Chains A and B, each alone.
Chain A
Amino acid sequence: MAPTRDKFTIHSKAVVCQDVELRGDITIGSGTIVHPKATIYAIVGPIVIGSNCIIEESVIIVNRRKEVMRIGDDNLFEIGCRVDSPTVGSFNTVSTRARIHHTVRISSYCIIGAGCLLAPAEDEVLDDYTVVYGPAAERRSWSGRGRVQEADLRRKHVDYLREMLPKFNRVRRGDGT
């Protein structure tokens, strides 16, 4: 396992703060916001993050596998969460201090509640609209009602951050520019 060379591809419309720990081959899509103090490690395989995601402070995203770790669009990773899962769909929310092991693959519209730990021994795929909540990480299925309004709110959140973050933080550019 040769350590991969650092290679950051950041879309010109993405906002990645200077004070972000990046390692390995990372691609960040258009409109994605990475707050300061976030950590993204592509230890072995590369990480590809889609568009309009929000990665908040002290979030840790790690790819431990050889294959590409793909994170879809419009995902929200809240403060202090840790995500190792090899694929993440779109419109997911990982709440504060939640932890997801590399055995879990996340589909779309999932919500991982605050402080929930997902660490199954065997590989698992969370279906669309799975909600994990509570101290015991109970699961249920969301009906999906209200998702249009939520997606709209997420967009506004991204728009606001895209405007405000560069005013108070130095922004990092990709290798290309």
Chain B
Amino acid sequence: MIPSVLYHCPCLSTSPVPPPPHLPSSSYCFHPLYTLFFCEECDAIRCNRCVSVEVSTYYCPNCLFEVPSASVRAEKNRCARNCFMCPICRNTLTVVASDPPDADAGRLSVPVSTVGEPPFYLYCNHCRWDSAEVGITFEKPTGLAAQLQKHEDSAPDSLEFDRLKEHFEPFIRSSLAASSAHPASTVHPSSAAHSHHLYSSSITAAASAALARDIPGVSKYTPLSRSTSGRGGRDRSVNKDEMPEYRSRMDITTASTIGTGGGEADVEFMKHIETINEVASLEQRWGSSWVTSLQTRDLKPLRIPLHSKRSKRCPVCTHILIKPEQKAQSVRYKIKLVAANYLPAITVALPHMYPTTETVKRALAKSSAAANDRLNAALHPGETYAFHLALTNPLYDPIQVRLATPRVHATNTSTANQEKSRRPPFGVSLPTSPFTVAAFAEAWEYDEDEDMYWTDEEDLGGGGGGGAKSVRDRDARTKSRTKAVGVLEKRANTTIVGGEIIIGKEARGRLMFIMLVQYTYRSDDPVPSESNEGEGNEVKGNTGKGPETKTFEFYTVVDLGEIEG
């Protein structure tokens, strides 16, 4: 288990203090740094759980065609061009021509430059499945989807689906009108402000109306909106009055005979299985939109499902946090406010977990108990371990960092005593005085820096470059013995600080603790933002003298791994 640092996102909660990390229920609010966003307007961390998401483009991952959102629904979220997936192994299928007829069937003669001829068929390069096995061949190698369309449209499932759509059409239209009259405020109070934006398209409007509606016969469960029961009741009456009874195209009890799966036909098939390969696996079947046959030999090529590019907005100020470029080929972003560009990146390492060549040699030579202990990567109760925190500054200005380990449990008074007794008994000591992390500079600026070369060599060298490494390691070792807690090393825009953890005798489970990171940076705009109410993350710095500074604080969870008893 590699030690890790996760960042806390308050997710609009009123208390900025994170829940105790050792509770399994707390996992929802701690995220790795690379998944987080940062809203400049609100000066707050945003995570994938609290942002509002919009689809900006639909595209086919195979042909990279951007599908207009109008036709996404008509094409049932799948590529309507020439992209097909192998029903056996999910590989992309290619169109190939048939072999010319064999002159002599016995010994295979290899003619020079054969030209394939129609009929064409789909062929999987990976598992050698081909569509001729299920009787699908094409007269010409273009417009395959159109050629297959007739096949698909005549399928009983598809016909039934169209009929259902037709049936619900008037209802969707009427509920759409209703939802535009009463904008649904059931999602979250804060999202109501920009609901006009969210429900701009008719698809989302219909979907949200459907989600907000109460289902007859199912008891209401609306944890987010407790005051909408009246509205729900009204909806239900609408439901009852306006829906005529739906009659299916065919009786479900007879459906199994036409290859839609289920029923007697499948039972009969399952009774006579000889090899497991005859049965289509779950992976092979659930990629299909319709119910497919249970038999592997009946599986049809699948149109490739579309992917989407999504842009995300801050839930409070509705400013865009991330917005990809419209083109499917492009992997760039028009707007990208990711937390990694604002918050210092923190990595944690346990130096005793990395035995160097030096320590290995020493262990072999002395074979003393102490050396063996050093090599052991596990954490044991009753021991003291040093750990290194490397902070990397992404900002173009140097920052002042202060670390602290707040006692989270002291705040909730009711269960404080109970919690304290259950808490894994360990003590963390961190450097208390603030330290600086140098500004980020573009890589070429410190290319000349020989310190950088040295580190590069060290990284690449591995076992080979043992000389410099072991010297440095011994250096670090003696340093850590004398001064385990404090700033250990400053290199480019990274500062490594050492901390120490004392594990109690009875400690068990994961060794995790909350660390509050406070950093002060030079602010560009002189006016302090007013949007920090409720967030509580931003503390205005000393405004009186010198350049304007700001302080931002956030919580992290440092996970050092499992304590082995």
Contact = CB atoms under 8 A, between A and B. Distances in A.
Chain A interface helix/strand/loop/mixed: mixed
Nearest to B113: A152
A152 B111 contact: yes
B110 interface: yes
Contacts of B96: 146, 149
Interface residues of B, number: 25
A140 B89 CA distance: 11
Contacts of A149: 96-97, 99, 114, 116
Contact of B127 (A131, A148, A151, A156): A131
Interface string A113-156: 10000000000000000010110001110110111110110011
A173 to B, nearest CB: 27
A51 B132 CA distance: 32
A60 B91 CA distance: 29
B130 A145 contact: yes
B188 interface: no
A148 B111 contact: yes
A134 B125 CA distance: 12
Given A145-B98, A155-B112, A113 B126 contact: yes
Interface string B31-69: 000000000000000000000000000000000000000
A111 interface: yes
Contacts, number: 62
Given A145-B99, A146-B96, A133 B89 contact: yes
B112 A134 contact: no
B108 A148 contact: yes
Contacts of A148: 99-100, 102, 108, 110-111, 114
Interface residues on A, range: 20 to 34
Nearest to A152: B114
Contacts of B133: 143
B123 interface: yes
Interface string B172-214: 0000000000000000000000000000000000000000000
Contacts of B418: none
A140 B130 contact: no
B25 interface: no
Contact of B126 (A133, A139, A152): A133
Contacts of B110: 74, 148, 151-152, 155
A147 B108 contact: yes
Interface of A: 74, 91, 111, 113, 131, 133-134, 138-140, 142-143, 145-149, 151-152, 155-156
- Top 10 closest A-B pairs, CB basis? A142-B128, A148-B99, A133-B127, A131-B128, A152-B114, A151-B110, A149-B114, A133-B126, A155-B110, A145-B130
